[in-house]
Structure 1
Amino acid sequence: MQYHRIVVDAMGGDHAPLEIVKGALQACKASPSIQCVFVGDEAAISDIIRREKKLKVDPKRWEIVHTMETINMEEDPKIGIEEKPEASILVAARLIRDGKGDALVSAGSTGATIMACSREIPRIPSIERGVLAAIFPAMKQDDTTPGVSIMLDVGATLHCTVNQLVSFAIMGIQYLKAIMAVENPRVGLLNIGTEETKGHNVLVETNKTLRSMKQLNFIGNIEGKDIMRGNADVIVTEGYIGNVALKSLEGMAELTIQTGKQIWKKNLLSKTGLIMLSPVLKK
């Protein structure tokens, strides 16, 4: 069987390597086509795999590439990359560079991950900068829409050029086509208004450029309220704005959860109502 080899930075993250390895093993059990390549402390990783009997998978489905160095969340990413050439995220990126993996997963330092991949993995020609993307749930407009949207960038490049924003749109389109089988993704440019002249010069010029690319399904500018409305499948934005939007939605989700908990404690009628709604809320 041909496996999809997923390189896992086992040492990256607040609860590494335990939760990282457990999560990867769960993915292996859920998808027979996955093979995990763990990068990190071989003794620690082997011990976790041995102890997690409920997550036991065929030994052919995983392997370990040993390294003891790791870049912590508190470290300056640039210094960490320079001073730790055998850090787990750098070793993982080299495996991708050398064709020994199909994808890389890390829950570690975002900055270190971006820098390691930028240093070790060649970019596609014409792509100036790597990008951070986030998947958001979105209202389904009809049976042809995916029910999610992808926003990019959400923090890798704070302020972008027109060419970079256009490349983000193209990457988002290709992602939805390849991963979610969306035939003709709708592209929206996040702005402070829907009019073509809104926003600073880079956004105005990006709007013009995307509009001139007839092969794209560009719907024009969209506003923050449209992110989860499902009006656009690909949402293009600078990293600064994208990150603020991402964190705002995270805060809204936390508020919803906390409000639900408070309502739950209020009285029996509230508990009954939430119990009845729980199947729908989970969906």
Structure 2
Amino acid sequence: MSKEQKWTQFEYPKNMITTMISLEDAIKSQYLNGIECTPENLANPEIRDFTYHLKHILYNFLEGIEGHNETRIESTFFIETEGEHENKYIGILFLEDKPNHEALTKKLATIAYEIAHRVVAQTDISNSSYTQHTLPEEEMFIQEQSDKFINKNKGRNIKHGFSVSPKIKNAQNQEINICVNGKYCEPKSENPDSNSIEGYALPAGYDEYDNTISLYSIDSDNKISSKPFTLTSKHPDHFMTIAKAKIEGGILYYTGECLEETKCGKKQKTYSILTLSIYDESDPLDNYSLQPT
């Protein structure tokens, strides 16, 4: 910097979509004539790569929105020397400064949240819960882009962790923070194990938006589970059947499929329902009792 230049204050841009903030300090100490730094955090490659990849994903999303083909997403990198994130390396994604971009900025922040939330195996650090219903076509886009990211990184270890902070707030009006640390999720199993399931159950509830139903399973000793299990359903008649059984106090008979696959390094089971009917013969379970299984 020449002697004629003057120090100015860095201003965070308007229409911020998300920030990526290093967990470790990029600057060890500041002196009158310079700084002492940690080279691996001074230009954190994890933040750089994630920022550019997320920027590319959000550009792809904009291409599907009419009237925003030429809307620009900007990126910049900054080390904060004082303030809330003192000495941290920060990647920033934001929309170009134009009026009436508030709704679009929030939508892009939501997409950024969903992507970050799905590709990281590490548990979130704080205030990470955020519920925002997305349209079916948006959900397809998010899942497709998340899968591409996961397949590219293949469970890779994250050497220098950081947090992703989309500029949205949860139901408690708190800022969202997702920890990107440990490792990225493992790709899905190419040949997941599948088993047929069937049994009797009592209705717990259903969610038409998420296409899921919940059942209290009944075992061979006529004991009912204390907690329901959830199955995905693609048939609207299933919701009518479970609603009728709940009103009439009926018992259900179901058939379905249990899929076991590896996600984020852990084996997970998911259930889907094929058929659902109300058991209409004489009730063999008159003496059942609600007990944990």
Give your verdict on TM over 0.5: no
Task: Give the TM-score normalised by structure 2.
Answer: 0.27
Task: Give the TM-score normalised by structure 1.
Answer: 0.28
Name the structure with the higher strand share.
2
Name the structure with the higher helix share.
1
